[in-house]
């Protein structure tokens, strides 16, 4: 027997099917007396069927080196999409306009790719060689596509980056006498 100070719980968590269009969450609860209480969220959720993830994020880059960043672009739509990926960064490693690529990704699949960051003369070009030990910035991978009914899809992933700007020739400490 359940009294006013007790609750009875059953299977209250159900799987949610995310539609491919904008939606609001609606919660319904059936009380012990049989009445139903419902609440609809005011927030409009705009799902997207494309996403990007960085699979081997480097945290520190060094001058005179090449570092590869591997990423995956997912297409969870029911159709093949032409996806445009652009990378912008605050340190202008790829020029002021960044770099862009185009991918054709089959429905319900993903592609892997690699982006190389070449750090041949970045410190000298940006006059940072002897100022600080590290410079920080971020890199944003943004993806966009348009589906067959003309709806724009977009998503992004932002990662932090640190560039070691001072190089040390001898890392062993000197004894002071």
Domains of the chain from N-terminus onward:
50-164 (2.60.40.10)
More confident residue, 15 or 34: 34
Please give the Cα distance from 75 to 52 (Å, whole number): 9
DSSP assignment of the chain:
---TT-----------PPPSS-B--EEEEE-TTS-EEEEE-SSPB---SEEEEESS--SEEETT-EEEEEEEEEE-SSS-EEEEEEEEETT-BTBTT-EEEEEEE-TTEEEEEEEEEE-SSHHHHTT-TTT-SEEEEEEEEEEEEE-TTS-EEEEEEEEEEEEE----S--SPPPP-
Burial class of residue 70 (count of CB atoms within 10 Å of its CB; 0-12, 13-18, 19+): middle
CB atoms under 10 Å from CB of 143, counted, come to 25
pLDDT confidence tier of residue 166, bands split at 50, 70 and 90? low
Least confident stretch, 72-81, 90-99, 132-141: 132-141
pLDDT above 80: residue 54: yes
pLDDT of 86 reads: 96
Whether this model's pTM surpasses 0.85: no
Please give the Cα distance from 100 to 110 (Å, whole number): 18
pLDDT above 70: residue 170: no
Residues 145-165 pLDDT 10s? 999 999 889 999 999 888 776
pLDDT confidence tier of residue 100, bands split at 50, 70 and 90? very high
pLDDT above 60: residue 131: no
pLDDT confidence tier of residue 114, bands split at 50, 70 and 90? very high
pLDDT of 1 reads: 45
Average pLDDT, the chain: 80
């Amino acid at each position: 027997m359940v009294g006013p100070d007790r609750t009875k719980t059953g299977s209250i968590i159900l799987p949610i099917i995310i539609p491919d269009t904008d939606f609001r969450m609606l919660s319904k609860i059936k009380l012990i007396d049989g009445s139903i209480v419902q609440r609809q969220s005011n927030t409009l959720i705009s799902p997207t069927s494309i996403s990007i993830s960085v699979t081997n994020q480097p945290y520190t880059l060094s001058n005179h080196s090449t570092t590869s960043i591997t990423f995956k672009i997912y297409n969870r739509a029911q159709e093949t999409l032409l996806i445009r990926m652009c990378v912008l960064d605050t340190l202008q490693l790829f020029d002021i306009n960044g770099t862009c690529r185009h991918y054709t990704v089959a429905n319900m699949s993903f592609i892997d790719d690699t982006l190389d960051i070449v750090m041949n003369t970045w410190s000298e070009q940006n006059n940072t060689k002897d100022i600080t030990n590290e410079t920080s910035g971020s890199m944003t991978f943004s993806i966009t596509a348009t589906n067959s009914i003309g709806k724009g899809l977009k998503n992004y992933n932002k990662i932090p980056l640190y560039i070691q700007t001072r190089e040390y020739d001898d890392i062993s400490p000197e004894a002071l006498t």
